A and B are shown apart, each in its own frame.
Chain A
């Protein structure tokens, strides 16, 4: 009788409840507000308004800019580190890896506050380079999310493939470009999605580092502060759409890559 109680189906119930209450229901509310106006009537104005207002479009563009630059900076820093750590025979490598991941254990706003002091010390005043500061802050914050997945994929890489490449006459560079890089693509992609998407909305970093230009997150906040829940919900919905699109895209590339890997 108890076995029946703990069947697979039943074990899923708590999560289903959670999903329905805290994911699906708010989503419906979001949809409702995004497509209605103050009188509760259906309207597309919020949607068309978003794409015809130079400010909201500009904010989207600016957020994209910050997120892209942050992602590139993180990738450029993380890949070599992850590669060296994963391929080296250092006994202390787990310690070094921990050193990179450790900042994640310290509270995020505390770290940004520390960064603020360091940057002020270097630049004199934070006010002159808001974009640079924001990118630095975000990179500092999200770097571990890029290192970890890349490190994992590279360390799981089958060494026999590299040996085979060498046997067939490939040099170091060629072996890296043809074997290691394509096979670490899944790690790169999950790293990119873990950095890019939060970087588009994490306005706390901007606030703390004194960037007075809004990104998507702060724009939503300002709509809600002005009691415009409908416009704010629409922006949140559009962001959600971008996230979905992004996920679909990376999944597509990932599938293609695994197939490519098999062809090798």
Chain B
């Protein structure tokens, strides 16, 4: 038994509609609150307006119940009010300047990009890594200031708290010669995998992308309804033999080769992916955007292609009904993803005060207790490991560590995330003794093992030509091809057309 079972990200469960309404109300409330706030201070001092746009349900909006209190040994953590208000107050206390955050949300990276193209202006947004790369290529971003990286400043929670593992990824991945870290501060991260019901699905089946078209699970698996995730899974499935061959795994340049293979957009691969996904369409329960989690919990499906953050949420929900689910990371490869804060040129417009507020916002959300609040509230994993501040590790242990009387316990090493690969002697300090089943469950999804991470691959930002080819492939998969219309349907259409013509003709004649 886990020491403290996480009641789960209580807010994410709301359906599409409820979420939408809540979102509207919340943003409405902020709007009004903000306006009142502004008139309070009008004429007294200057106020910075910071326009932040983030994913839906992706920040702690406060209003926790007493029982949600996270009672770490080092002190309680509790989300009383929205983190956005907390930030406004914190900023005023620290810098003596009023900031008003205009907070809004978007549903997909593509929605965000379309809104930007339409001329909506934001100062700070939180897209996924491929969209950050796209925005970087298009020169739409403001680089982070030097002060942001000043580790001496104790308000710089990001640079002092970001996980060394994540930091090295942000520094080593470059686009047009500049590393991501010049422009982006990470927020949440995760990998993709399969949530499954261990009573119906074998772990070895769930550990391969080939489960998606496995006839043994016909009509029992849902797959993500978006082209990038589907593409990744399909590439993993069709290249399964190569990706799991010993020769490939042991190649000295394995990580680069893996990334190349997983981002392969050659004509032949796209054609094979199309063929594979057409198979999947006939074998899967459905393509889903949001319903997969609920269908998994209610037992409508046996397995579900999921992002790790949502996987944690799904398992938490199912646990409440004593319905244990598990998480598997396909042996071929897993897509590692990051959402990060970036500042937009169109919003900031070289306004130093505004940029300072935006960077302070990134830092404030990176403070260990705030990162924990967000993780608890939304279920995803923060890129923050805390640095000197050990509360993040303490929180992971609080969530998943075993009770003292637990017998079946396994040590789960998170050294790679918390202390980095180069501080090997320190690694032993970051081991969670967890109930053994957690190695296949929430703990594994929230903080994937180093072994799973070793086969992770980024999915790059495709250029226009590649995107066009892949989107065409997707449309070919999803659309009904007119050549597939059976003869009897054509006959029926012809017959009804003839009938209508005769009927209409008679009527016309009669009228004359």
Chain A interface (Cβ within 8 Å of chain B)?
54-59, 61-62, 65, 107, 109-110, 113, 120, 125-128, 207-208, 210-214, 218-219, 222, 224-229, 256, 259-260
The answer to whether A113 and B475 touch across the interface, beta carbons within 8 angstroms, is no
In the complex formed, the residue of B with least CB distance to A226 is: B471
Query: CB within 8 A of A213: which of B284, B300, B478?
Result: B478
Which of B53-61, B108-116, B231-239 forms contacts with chain A? Answer: B108-116
Q: State the 7 A-B residue pairs at the shortest beta-carbon distance, nearest first.
A: A210-B286, A55-B479, A127-B219, A58-B482, A226-B471, A62-B480, A58-B480
Q: Is B509 an interface residue (CB 8 A)?
A: no
Taking CB atoms and an 8 Å cut-off, the chain B residues in 463-509 that contact chain A are 467-468, 471, 474-476, 478-485, 489, 507
State whether A55 and B113 are in contact (beta carbons under 8 Å apart), knowing that A109-B16, A127-B219, A210-B286 are contacts in the complex. Answer: no
B42 CB-CB contact with A under 8 Å: no
Residue pair A226, B467 in contact (C-beta under 8 Å): yes
Residues of B with C-beta under 8 A to A65: 489
Is B281 interfacial (CB 8 A cutoff)? yes
Out of B15, B281, B289, name the residue touching A113 (CB < 8 Å): B15
Contact at B479–A214, with CB atoms within 8 Å? yes
Chain B residues close to A by CB (< 8 Å): 15-17, 108, 110, 113-114, 117, 219-220, 225-227, 281, 284-289, 291, 300, 467-468, 471, 474-476, 478-485, 489, 507, 511
CA distance A211 to B287 in the complex (A): 8
Find chain A residues with CB under 8 A from B481 CB: 54-55, 58
Q: CB-CB < 8 A to B117: which residues of A? A: 227
**Known contacts A109-B16, A210-B286: A228-B471 contact under CB 8 Å:** yes
A125 touches B16 (CB 8 A): no
* Docked-complex contact B285 and A214, CB < 8 angstroms: no
Closest Cβ–Cβ distance, residue B411 to chain A (whole Å): 41
Q: Find the B residue at minimum CB distance from A208.
A: B291
* Distance from B291 Cβ to chain A, minimum over Cβ atoms (Å): 7
Task: Compute how far the CA of A211 lies from the CA of B475 in the bound complex, rounded to whole angstroms.
Answer: 15
Query: Chain A residue with minimal CB distance to B117?
Result: A227
Looking at the complex, which one of B17, B225, B467, B483 makes contact with A109 (CB distance below 8 Å)? B17
Query: In the complex, what residues of A have CB within 8 A of residue B226's CB?
Result: 225
On whether the beta carbons of A61 and B480 are closer than 8 Å, the reply is yes
Question: Cα distance A259–B226 when bound, in Å?
Answer: 53
* Beta-carbon contact of A110 and B479 below 8 Å: no
Chain B's closest residue to A213 (CB) is: B480
Nearest A residue to B226 by beta-carbon distance? A225
- State whether A256 and B286 are in contact (beta carbons under 8 Å apart), knowing that A54-B483, A55-B476, A213-B480 are contacts in the complex: no
- Please, how many angstroms separate the alpha-carbon atoms of A211 and B507 in the complex? 40
Give every chain A residue within 8 A of B511 (Cβ-Cβ). 256, 259-260
Choose from B17, B110, B289 the contact partner of A107 (Cβ within 8 Å): B17
